[in-house]
Amino acid sequence: LDMEYIINLPNQKGRDFFMKLLPPVGRDEVVARMKKADKLPTEDIKDTEETLKAIRTKIAKLESEESNLNGRITALKQSIKNPPEEEKFEKQAELDALEKRLKGISASLSKEEELQKKLNEKKGEVQSLTADKKGMADKYYEISDKLKSLSESKCPTCKQVIKDAKEKAEACTKERKEVIEKGKELADKMKTLEAEIAKLDADISKVKSLNDSVKIIEQINALRTEKQQIELKNNTRKTIIENNVNYTKDIKKYEEAIDDIIKKKAEAEEMMEALKEYRLFSTLIQVEKVQQHFNKVSINLFHVNPETKEIKETYE
């Protein structure tokens, strides 16, 4: 070799020249020097740079998934609420008593309707009797006027009542007597009806005094509203508790997924470190094999960062 020619080659050409001369290095030869060989991929390593790039892409994807899951966990934790204390409706006995009383009032209202119906019927009978009584009175006055007229039908000579007129007057007297009897009957019936009406009025007033339904219904509605509000609050509390349970389950599921991601990231990062170590020793072995052909010249084709183990191409 013309060393002067080789040494004076431009950087990239000089490096390319030696890279073509570098013999391939076997996996077993590299692994023998490594500390993290057990973390290497099981398949053959053809191109460490491509493999490292694929692992970085995988880690980035895992980190994106981890960030997404952490966001979900944060949102779920913010959704968890402290449920309010459970409330109890302490007035159930009072409500039951009022509802029972209202049922009794409903029965009383039916009785009131029945009494009112009877009262209306009696008043209708009174109106009918009043009309009949007026008819009897009119007939009485009519007969009385007729009797008066007949009594004045006398013979101008002897002043005696004419025989025909006398017979008619007797018939009218009899008829008037019958009218008077019927009038008395009507009066008695009227008196009985008035007594019955008075009693019905008293009974209705008594039932009405027991039927304070409006006030009771207001009390019942107020208690029912209070009960519904308490049930609504307790249902809301139940929903919050159920949601908290579901949120907690989801959080646990996401945390387990994150643990799995962290584990996969750690494995990927360990593999990256092993690949870097593999690449480092592979390069060193190649350089050593080149260097053994020179005793006065040192050829450096790679520069290794001692901290990051990153290899930078060079020609020195």
Interval 130-180: pLDDT, tens? 888 888 888 888 888 887 777 665 544 444 555 566 777 778 888 888 888
Contact 304, 277 (CB under 8 A): no
pLDDT for 1: 54
- Transcribe 112-132 into DSSP letters: HHHHHHHHHHHHHHHHHHHHH
Burial of 101-127, coded b for 16+ CB within 10 Å and e otherwise, reads beeebeebeeebeebeeebeebeebbe
The average pLDDT across 184-204 equals: 84
pLDDT for 62: 95
Q: What is the average pLDDT score of the chain?
A: 82
What is d(CA 225, CA 229) in angstroms, rounded to the nearest whole number? 6
What is d(CA 316, CA 290) in angstroms, rounded to the nearest whole number? 13
Angle at 103 between CA 97 and CA 105, to 5 degrees: 105
DSSP summary character for residue 85: P
Closest CA to 74 of 261, 240, 254, 262: 254
Look at residue 60 and give its three-state secondary structure. Answer: helix
How does residue 193 score in pLDDT terms, banded at 50, 70 and 90?
Answer: confident
| Tokens at 221, concatenated | 């509605």
pLDDT for 255: 96
Contact 19, 314 (CB under 8 A): no
pLDDT in tens, 69-92: 999 999 999 999 999 999 999 999
| % pLDDT > 70, the chain | 76
In this model, does residue 6 exceed pLDDT 90? no
In this model, does residue 50 exceed pLDDT 50? yes
Distance of CA 55 to the CA centre of its chain: 48
In this model, does residue 98 exceed pLDDT 80? yes
pLDDT for 156: 46
Residue with tokens 């191109």: 47
DSSP summary character for residue 84: P
In this model, does residue 267 exceed pLDDT 90? yes
In this model, does residue 15 exceed pLDDT 70? no
Q: Is the pTM of this model over 0.75?
A: no
What is d(CA 226, CA 220) in angstroms, rounded to the nearest whole number? 10
In this model, does residue 260 exceed pLDDT 70? yes
Closest CA to 8 of 297, 313, 309: 297
The average pLDDT across 8-15 equals: 67
